[in-house]
Amino acid sequence: MGQTIGTAAAVFAGTNVDDIIILTVLFLTSRAGGVPRPWQIVLGQYAGIAVLVVVSAVAALGLTVVPDRWVGLLGLVPFGMGVWGLIKKGNGDEAAPVASGVVSIAGVTIANGADNISVYTPMFRTIGLAPTLVTVAVFAVLVGFWCAAASWLGSHKKIISLVERSGRWLVPTVFMVIGVVIVAESIFD
């Protein structure tokens, strides 16, 4: 069981390094502008990871839910959210959060999860039911840790000050870059 826990932790960390950046940006945005609320960030992250695990488990059972070549198109979700944030800023609106609720945060997590699905699916297929359940439990614990780490990273006054000054441009741009990277990775893989 120790090996399963270690492997699950390594797989989670390897497939969610990019999420720590997204979560930190979301916590910074929350502290600078009040939206999204921290509970929405945490719940959205849990929901997004849960969807990725379920899709991977179903795919591991032999069902092709989404063809691999289409998974990368989910990168259009954070890209579109970033474009929307910039358009709202360009119209002179107040802060235009790109991810302002549980559903949009879960959407970003799912859109950023092509690598998760591509790793979790074969892993779930080969390790069996009991190790899969242990792995899912490890993932649940680590989502909480990831959110806590991102919240801590997003609590530094200098970083909050930067987001308050340039967050209306910075946050949508980060989401657009993430979207482009997701789509590009699916094209060039």
Please determine, for residue 90, whether its predicted confidence score (pLDDT) is greater than 90. Answer: no
pLDDT (0 to 100) of residue 93:
55
- Rounded mean pLDDT of 145-159? 87
> Per residue in 26-58, pLDDT tens?
998 888 788 899 999 999 999 999 999 999 998
> Per residue in 97-111, pLDDT tens?
556 789 999 998 998
Note the maximum CA span of the chain. 55
Q: Which has more pLDDT, 50 or 162? A: 50
Residue labelled with tokens 């559903």 = 103
Q: What angle do CA 169, 148, 129 make, to 5 degrees?
A: 115
Q: What torsion do the CA atoms of 111, 65, 11, 72 make, to the nearest 10 degrees?
A: -40
CB atoms within 10 A of CB 165: 11
Please determine, for residue 183, whether its predicted confidence score (pLDDT) is greater than 60. Answer: yes
Please determine, for residue 70, whether its predicted confidence score (pLDDT) is greater than 70. Answer: no
Closest among 175, 28, 46, 27 to 102, alpha carbons compared: 46
